[in-house]
Amino acid sequence: MTTDKIAVVTGTNRGLGRSAAIALATRGVRVVVTHRGDAAGAEETAEQVRAVGGTAAVLRLDLSDVSSFESFTSELGAQLERWGASRLDVLVNNAGVGIFGPLETVTLDDFDTVMGTNVRGTFFLIQSLVPLLAQGGQVINVSSSATRHTRPTTSVYAASKAALEALSRNLAAELGPRGIRVNSIAPGPTATDFNGGAMRDDDGLRQALADQTVLGRVGEPEEIGDAIATMASEGLRWVTAQRIEVSGGALL
């Protein structure tokens, strides 16, 4: 059933972003697919959206380049007009980077890259797009279960996602009077190509993580995509300022 809603999903050329785009499309949401430079991957996502009966458009967006957000917003507005719309309903902030290593190996550039993309870029993208969000619209920020448990080498990445969760709660309070909801989805270990595809391809790591998970396995990208699409649905219209972990009970 068509909902006539429109969503922007960042980092949609692969992994969780692709799964979120497809899951939203199966629920009748039109999807703006974005990518930082992998145009072929983004077009593949768009084709998969269309294969499930959805509607997709592809735009380039580099979260590390805040100066480009003005032109992106203009391009997005033009795309909305082509669809006969003036408002955006859902913004899924999925794009992010992870650089991992022990304390003594983390460089200033590493730190700035992670924080600049995961926190700074996400914050200013929200700032840019809030004027387009419809009454009753929502922002869904993709965090990580790493904000709840600890693991060596993840300090900077986990800190960036913890900041994103704090941002979500505070923006929920600020934007609530406009009818805009803000929540975060925190995936656990998931079999994607993130971090070199370790959780997808390293059998030993997969088994170690499965042994620490209540449901006995790592997650699949489609399960995270379904959770994001569910959060975007009217069924959860009374939920805001929440962190929803989707991890199968990992590392309890």
Region 120-128: mean pLDDT is 98
Region 43-60: mean pLDDT is 98
Sole residue written with tokens 């960036």: 160
Q: Residue 12 pLDDT more than 50? A: yes
Looking at the chain, the whole-number percentage of residues with pLDDT higher than 90 is 87
Backbone angles phi, psi at 232, to 5 degrees: -80, -5
pLDDT band at 2 (very low <50, low <70, confident <90, very high): very low
**Tens digit of pLDDT for each residue in 139-171?**
999 999 999 999 899 999 999 999 999 999 999
The pLDDT value recorded for residue 198 is: 58
pTM of the shown model: 0.95
The pLDDT value recorded for residue 1 is: 38
- Indicate the burial class of 48 (C-beta count within 10 angstroms; 0-12, 13-18, 19 or more): middle
Q: Distances in Å between the alpha carbon of 123 and those of 30, 60, 99, 115, 139? A: 23, 18, 20, 11, 11
Positions marked active-site: 157
**Lowest-pLDDT range of 88-102, 117-131, 144-158, 180-194:** 180-194
Structural domains in the chain? 6-246 (3.40.50.720)
